[in-house]
Each structure stands twice: as structure tokens, then as C-alpha cells.
Amino acid sequence: MVLSNGTYGLRIVQTLEYLNRAHTVIDKGDYLPPRGPEVIAAISADPAITHVVVVHCETSSGILNPIKEISDAVKACGRKLLVDSMSAFGAVPLDFNEIPYVAMVSSANKCIEGVPGFGFIIARKDELEAAKGRSHSLSLDIHAQWAHMNKTGQWRFTPPTHVVVAFLEALRAHKLEGGVEARGARYTNNRDVVVKGMRELGFETLLKDRWMSPIIVTFFCPAHKNFGFNAFYESMKSKGFIIYPGKLTVVDSFRIGCIGQMDEGVMRQVVTAAAETLSEMGVDTAAPPEIALVEQAKLAA
């Protein structure tokens, strides 16, 4: 069972469709979080569910999903938990003793700050053993790669050597910075500085503070008639900042990332660039349209 509240949840569903694996979905739409009680209800109604897949930080809205609540629900039902922690691992704690997952997946290029080129999993060894011979794919057969690496010290196929070297450097830098706690604190401060500054300009965030991840933040586009996303994007880019288009289906939005080699000084420059851009556009308030506030109210604090 896939718990979906955004693009990455839907991508898991799409992957399962491509692979022809039986699945069911709790689809919460653009951002509303999956909750423990609905997970328990769905499992109780469908004994065929063996695993629950949850996205840790749903990067398309920036929500930090209530992973402990979901983990407790899955555990209470005696089912197994899989976690997509692509955009959170390395900056948000994911303690196996607290959240007993059977496997999680992340990648070299997000909070670890390596370069793009491979993903990695952390899994229970007994689950890895049990997965032998079950892979749909030769190249993505984790058990085969694990067994081969243990036996020979080699990757089965050509390794992405430069990416691995960069990853080792990135892990070294991660440790030097102070690990998950320090990296999470820097990103959290980045987020707080950009959110405070943007709110002072009149922008509103999709999510209330309690749900915001320290990874990426969704802001509503201003309602002002002179505002256009493309012009805003181009102007921000010309000032040195690439922002992300929003992924909400019912209201225009954009996202600002808080991760990578950036500190609060950079985030203040982002706010300054946004302020200058608004003034160049002749937008005197960044307040969002009514409909945005309706969306915002759907998720309680």
C-alpha cells in the first residue's frame, strides 16, 4: 500500500504499475498528510497488504509526513514499512529504533550533498536475504549486488567511480559539519530565514509551521494582477537564484529549496532578490488569492 500526498508518492505508484506489482493507494492529493488511523483502517479492510510505503519528506509540497505515527500504525497491524527518504535522509533523523522500517532508500545528491549518480538503500539483512530471486530487474537486484559485493568487494557492473569518490567526500563533510543534527539545524535555519523574510513581503506558505520540512518550502503566487510566475522566475534567475515551479493542482505556487551549500546569508539574499523583483514588476503586495487561503485552511496547525 502506497501512501501518496504528492508527486513522489504518485511516482511510487507509477513504478509499481510499470513493474506489474499488486498495489493499493491511499491518495491524499497534493499535500494533506496520510494519518495513522486511516492506515490502520485500510490494512484492516485488506489482508493482502504486506508492506506500506511512505514518503518521508514529500518534496513536491515540502511537507514532513508524520512518519512516527504511520510507523506505529504499520507496526500495530504487523505489516512492514518501506520509506522513501530521498530528500530527508542526512538532515532529518530516521532512527531505526524509533521507526522500524524494513528498508529505506535515499540518494547521493540531496541532503548528503554529493553529486547525482546513484541511490542507496539501508535494509534489514533478513529482509535482503528473503528478497533473493524476487527482483524484477537484473541491474536493480539489490540482493545480487549485496551478495556480490560481500563475496568479491566489487560492483557487479561498471561503478560510477567519480560519483562514489564525491560521495565519500560528501560523507566526510557531513561528519565534519556535525552529522544529521548540525546539517538539519543549518537547513532549518535556512528555512526559517527565508520563510520569515518572504512573509514580511506578504507571501504566504502553503503549510503551517508544524508541517514544514527544513528541505523545501511552497509559497503561493501573489494575487496581484502584475505578478506572473515566468517573469518572477526569470528575474530571480538573473539575480543568481533558481526557484522551483509549484506542484499544486488548484492554485499557483512556487518552491524555494533550503538544502545544499547555503547558509542564512544566502537565504537573506534570496528574500532581497524577491523584494527587488516584486518592485520591478510593480507588485506592491505578495498576498495570495482567496482560494489559496481556502487550501491553507484544509490542514490544521
Ligand X SMILES: *Cc1c(COP(=O)(O)O)cnc(C)c1O
Which CB atom, from 116 or from 282, has the smaller least distance to ligand X?
116
Kindly indicate which of the ranges 29-37, 81-89, 131-139, 176-184 contains the residues binding ligand X, using the contact rule CB under 6 A.
81-89
Kindly indicate which of the ranges 42-50, 83-91, 169-177, 201-209 contains the residues binding ligand X, using the contact rule CB under 6 A.
83-91
Closest CA to 123 of 85, 160, 87: 85
Work out whether 213 is an interface residue with ligand X (CB under 6 A): no
Residue 78 beta carbon to ligand X: minimum distance, rounded to whole angstroms: 26
Closest CA to 270 of 239, 227, 299, 238: 239
Place of cell 506489482: 21
> How far is 96 from 215, CA to CA, in rounded Å?
21
Which CB atom, from 59 or from 205, has the smaller least distance to ligand X?
59
Strands (E), 160-207: none
Which CB atom, from 232 or from 254, has the smaller least distance to ligand X?
254
Work out whether 219 is an interface residue with ligand X (CB under 6 A): no
Residues 16-55 that bind ligand X (CB under 6 A): 55
Work out whether 84 is an interface residue with ligand X (CB under 6 A): yes
> How far is 53 from 101, CA to CA, in rounded Å?
10
Which CB atom, from 8 or from 167, has the smaller least distance to ligand X?
8
Question: Are the beta carbons of 90 and 119 closer than 8 angstroms?
Answer: no
Q: What is the 3-state secondary structure (H, E, C) of 11-78?
A: HHHHHHHHHCCCCCEEECCCCCCCCHHHHHHHHHHCCCCCEEEEECEECCCCEECCHHHHHHHHHHCC
Which CB atom, from 84 or from 295, has the smaller least distance to ligand X?
84
Residue 10 beta carbon to ligand X: minimum distance, rounded to whole angstroms: 10
Work out whether 8 is an interface residue with ligand X (CB under 6 A): yes
> How far is 81 from 101, CA to CA, in rounded Å?
5
Work out whether 267 is an interface residue with ligand X (CB under 6 A): no
First to last CA, the chain: 27
Which CB atom, from 43 or from 55, has the smaller least distance to ligand X?
55
Classify 105 in phi/psi space as left (phi over 0), alpha (psi -120 to 50) or beta: beta
Residue 32 beta carbon to ligand X: minimum distance, rounded to whole angstroms: 16
Single out the residue of 4, 59, 65, 213 in contact with ligand X (rule: CB under 6 A): 59
Work out whether 87 is an interface residue with ligand X (CB under 6 A): yes
List the grid coordinates of 259.
538544502
Which CB atom, from 66 or from 202, has the smaller least distance to ligand X?
66
SS3 (DSSP) at 145: helix
> How far is 228 from 250, CA to CA, in rounded Å?
16
Residue 56 beta carbon to ligand X: minimum distance, rounded to whole angstroms: 7
Work out whether 4 is an interface residue with ligand X (CB under 6 A): no
Single out the residue of 26, 86, 270, 273 in contact with ligand X (rule: CB under 6 A): 86
Residues 92-111 that bind ligand X (CB under 6 A): 107
> How far is 246 from 256, CA to CA, in rounded Å?
9
Which CB atom, from 139 or from 152, has the smaller least distance to ligand X?
139
The count of residues in the chain is 301
Residues that bind ligand X (CB under 6 A): 8, 55, 59, 84, 86-87, 107
